[in-house]
Amino acid sequence: MPDLLSIGECMVELFSDQPIEEADTFTRSLAGDSFNLLVAAQRLGTSTGYITRLGDDPFAGYLLNTWQSEGIDTAAVKTVAGFNAMHFVALLQGGEREFVYYRKGSAPSTMHPDDLDPEYIGAAKIQHLSGITQAISSSARATVLKAAQIAKDKGVAVSYDPNYRHQLWSHDDAREAMEEVLPYVDYMLPGAPADSSVLLGTDDAHETVRYFRDRGVPVVAVTRGELGAVVGSGDGVFEVPAYRPDGPIDTTAAGDAFKGGFVHGTLSGMSLEDAARLGTVTAGLKLRGRGALTGMPYRDEVFAVLAGLNQA
C-alpha cells in the first residue's frame, strides 16, 4: 500500500512558450498541485497513491496511463461520466506564467466523501490535502475534510497546502476552509506571501510559522520562492536557502516539487533541516523544465546535487 496519498484534481495541460493570445501551438502535458507533489515524491522513491475522479472523455486513457507510468497507485481513482479539467499555460519573461482554466463542473469536482476508503487511507503514513481541492466544489471540500478526519482517526499524519487561487474562490471562503482542516494538520505547507498575505494578513514567513505553531501544528514549512524556505517545529525555527541552478526556465510546480521533496524526506526519516534542503534542491532542479512534469527530477540527480552541496 502507498505511504503517501494525495487527493485532488489533475488537469490536462496545454503549454506554450509564447503568450496565450499569440501562441499557435501548444504541447500537451498534465498538471495539478495534488498530482505534482506525488510525482516529485514518487521520483525520489516514496510509494504514492492518488484519490480522485476521472472523467470518461477522450483524455481519460492519457491521464490514467501517465499516472500509472509514474508508478502512482490508482486503486482509489473512480471513473465517472463527465469531462476532465484543462488549463492553458504560457511562459512569460523571468519564468513567470499566465494561466487560463477550463475546470468548472469537471469530473474530479464531483468527488464525494463516500468515495473515500478508510482502510486505504489508514494504511498510508501521510495523507496530503490541498486548498485547491477544497475550492473546486462543495462536495470536494467535504471530501477533503472527511479525508482529514479519517486520517487522524487512523493515526495517519496529514499534510496541507492552502495554495490559494483567487480564480477559484474568495479570501473568506479560503480562510474558512483552511480553518476547518487545521485541527487535523501535522505538516502545514503554505507559501509566503502568496498564501500568507491572503489567509493571515502577513508577508513574513517567520510570522506565518509562529501563527500555525501557536495553533498547534507540529511542523510548518513555508516556501518563499527564490528566498528558500522557513521551517518551524517544537525544536525551533530555521531557514534553508533556495537552490538556484542556471535559469530558471519555468517556475511551474516548483512549490509542489519542494513539498514533495520535503514530505519524502520526512517519510525517509531525515531531520527537518535535511528534508527541507532536499525540498529546495528538488524545486531548484524543477525550474529547468517547462510545464509541471518536465524537469521534475529523479532521485539520483537530486541526491548527487545534495552530496555536492554538503561537500562545499
Q: Torsion over CA of 242, 225, 285 and 41, rounded to 10 degrees?
A: 100
∠ CA(264), CA(265), CA(271), 5° rounding? 160
Residue with cell 496511463: 65
* pLDDT one-digit tens code per residue, 219-267: 999 999 999 999 999 999 999 999 988 766 778 899 999 999 999 999 9
Taking CA 20 as the corner, what is the angle to CA 16 and CA 22, rounded to the nearest 5 degrees?
Answer: 100
- The C-alpha cell that represents 15 in the structure block: 503549454
| pLDDT tier, 92 (very low <50, low <70, confident <90, very high otherwise) | confident
Average pLDDT, whole number, for the chain?
94
Distance CA 252, CA 43 (A): 17
C-alpha span between 229 and 237 (Å, rounded):
11
Give the C-alpha separation, 241 to 217, whole Å: 23
What value does the mean pLDDT take over residues 192-210? 97
Percentage, residues of the chain above pLDDT 70: 97
Grid cell listed for 277: 534542503
The answer to whether residue 16 scores a pLDDT higher than 70 is yes
In this prediction, residue 260 carries a pLDDT of: 98
Gyration radius (Cα) of the chain, Å: 18
- The CB density around residue 243, as the number of other CB atoms within 10 Å, is 21
pLDDT > 90? residue 97: no
Sheet holding 219-223, edge to edge: 77-80, 48-55, 4-7, 126-130, 157-161, 187-188, 219-223, 229-233, 236-240
How crowded is residue 46: how many other Cβ atoms within 10 Å of its Cβ?
A: 24
Quote the percentage of the chain above a pLDDT of 90. Answer: 84
38-80 pLDDT, tens digit each: 999 999 999 999 999 999 999 999 999 999 999 999 999 999 9
| Residue 311 backbone dihedrals phi, psi, to 5 degrees | -90, -15
Going by pLDDT thresholds of 50, 70 and 90, the confidence category of residue 95 is: low
CATH code of the region 4-307: 3.40.1190.20
Q: Indicate whether 82 pLDDT > 90.
A: yes
172: pLDDT confidence band, cut at 50, 70 and 90?
Answer: very high
- Is the pLDDT at 174 greater than 80, yes or no? yes
Q: What is the DSSP string of 30-53?
A: EE-HHHHHHHHHHHHT--EEEEEE
DSSP 8-state class, residue 109: G
pLDDT of residue 248: 65
Question: What's the predicted TM-score (pTM) here?
Answer: 0.95
Indicate the domain borders of the chain.
Answer: 4-307
> How far is C-alpha 236 from the chain's CA centre?
25
Q: How many CB atoms lie within 10 A of CB 185?
A: 24
Residue 212: pLDDT over 80: yes
For residues 275 and 250, what is the distance between their CA atoms, to the nearest angstrom? 23
pLDDT in tens, 119-131: 999 999 999 999 9
